[in-house]
């Protein structure tokens, strides 16, 4: 197994750190997968999942999204990308990486896996460029009520205007995430909602590149991006395979209510290849929770069932 690191210079005036996992001993590959991580974490937390997919015949890529570990100049930039258009930039970065992958691996299908914030970036990408990929897996996602997005976007935009784009607002943080942990009282940490396994929660809490309060600019543009995504579900190609996976006790997904809402939205839009899988008792980070082996196997099975008719040989 080989893991490589690259630094990409992208068009939106910045660089991102990109990793590649692949099995050098293979002559044939089944496909290429781009992993898109969530907010306030980093791609190295996906190493076990990436290695699993690579061992089973896939070439796996994953980048540290801007504002996150590996794609920031200094720690002071953690949670900050630019004063404006942050969500658009994240989608643009995925687009540039996918274009590079399509050029390099012309005979292989390309899939996107997005977790949490990454799932929203992936969906917005699919709304604009869905014909360039062969399927998406959405983890820890949701369909949020319009009023929630409208109020959140308004408040965060106001804070950004008054306090400045780099201001870190406890108010915005609590509005976005405060209710998640309250569902698991009494709380041992501020991140109990992420995982049923205390050791995994502790790894997250003790990682300086996980958690914390992001900047007003990041939150404002993220919520504005969610509003745009919510208004354009119908742009996703009807024949794009979509798999939605979530813990049944994921507070971000409304304890499965908002995840089911997302599934129902796509079903109503007549997406021809749509699957929903919920994992009992699991919380937000199902790739690290007690169900992770089942999640790994389910993702692999879904990918295997949707292999394009390509010979898999690299040219």
Instruction: List pLDDT tens digits, range 2-38.
Output: 999 999 999 877 899 999 999 998 889 999 999 999 9
pLDDT over threshold 50, residue 315: no
Model confidence at 240, pLDDT cuts 50, 70, 90, reads very high
Question: Does any domain span residue 198?
Answer: no
Phi, psi (degrees; rounded to nearest 5) at 105: -120, 70
Q: Which of 59-68, 82-91, 112-121, 133-142 has the lowest mean pLDDT?
A: 82-91
Question: Does any domain span residue 133?
Answer: yes
pTM, two decimals, is: 0.96
DSSP secondary structure code for residue 205 in this structure: H
Q: Domain of residue 71: give its range.
A: 2-143+233-305
How far is residue 29's CA from residue 10's CA, in Å, rounded to a whole number?
27
Model confidence at 192, pLDDT cuts 50, 70, 90, reads very high
CA distances from 142 to 32, 196, 198, 257 (A): 25, 20, 24, 8
How far is residue 20's CA from residue 9's CA, in Å, rounded to a whole number?
16
Q: How many domains does the chain have?
A: 1
Model confidence at 309, pLDDT cuts 50, 70, 90, reads very low
CATH number at residue 241: 3.40.50.1820
Question: Does any domain span residue 163?
Answer: no
Q: Which of 143-147, 195-199, 211-215, 262-266 has the lowest mean pLDDT?
A: 143-147
pLDDT of residue 308: 55
Phi, psi (degrees; rounded to nearest 5) at 246: -165, 155
Question: Does any domain span residue 72?
Answer: yes
Question: Does any domain span residue 190?
Answer: no
H helices, E strands: number in the chain: 10, 8
pLDDT over threshold 50, residue 221: yes
In the chain, what percentage of residues exceed pLDDT 70? Answer: 97
Question: Does any domain span residue 182?
Answer: no
Question: Terminus-to-terminus CA distance in the chain, angstroms?
Answer: 20
Question: Does any domain span residue 14?
Answer: yes
For residue 275, list its beta bridge partners.
243
Question: Does any domain span residue 152?
Answer: no
């Amino acid at each position: 197994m080989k893991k490589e690191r690259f630094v990409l210079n992208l068009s939106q005036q910045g660089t991102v750190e990109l990793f590649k996992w692949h099995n050098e001993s293979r002559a044939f590959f089944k496909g290429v997968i781009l992993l898109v991580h969530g907010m306030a974490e980093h791609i190295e937390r996906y190493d076990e999942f990436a290695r699993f997919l690579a061992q089973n015949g896939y070439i796996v890529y994953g980048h540290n999204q801007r504002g996150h570990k590996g794609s920031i100049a200094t720690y002071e930039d953690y949670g900050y990308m630019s004063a404006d258009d942050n969500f658009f930039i994240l989608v643009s970065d995925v687009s540039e990486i996918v274009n590079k992958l399509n050029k390099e691996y012309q005979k292989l299908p390309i899939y996107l896996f997005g977790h949490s914030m990454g799932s929203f970036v992936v969906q917005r990408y699919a709304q604009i460029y869905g014909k360039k990929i062969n399927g998406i897996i959405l983890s820890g996602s949701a369909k949020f009520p319009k009023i929630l997005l409208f109020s959140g976007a308004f408040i965060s935009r106001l804070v950004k205007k008054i306090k400045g784009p780099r201001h870190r607002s406890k108010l915005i943080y609590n509005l976005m995430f405060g209710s998640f942990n309250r569902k698991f009282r009494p709380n041992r940490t501020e991140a109990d909602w992420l995982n049923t396994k205390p050791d995994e929660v502790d790894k997250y809490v003790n990682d300086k590149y996980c958690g914390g309060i992001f900047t007003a600019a990041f939150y404002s543009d993220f919520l504005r991006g969610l509003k745009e995504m919510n208004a354009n579900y119908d742009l996703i190609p009807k024949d794009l395979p979509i798999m939605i996976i979530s813990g049944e006790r994921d507070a971000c997904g409304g304890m499965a209510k908002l995840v089911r809402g997302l599934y129902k939205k796509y079903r109503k839009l007549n997406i021809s290849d749509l699957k929903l899988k919920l994992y009992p008792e699991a919380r937000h980070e199902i790739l690290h929770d007690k169900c992770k082996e089942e999640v790994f196997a389910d993702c692999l099975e879904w990918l295997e069932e949707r292999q394009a008719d390509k010979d898999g040989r690299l040219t």
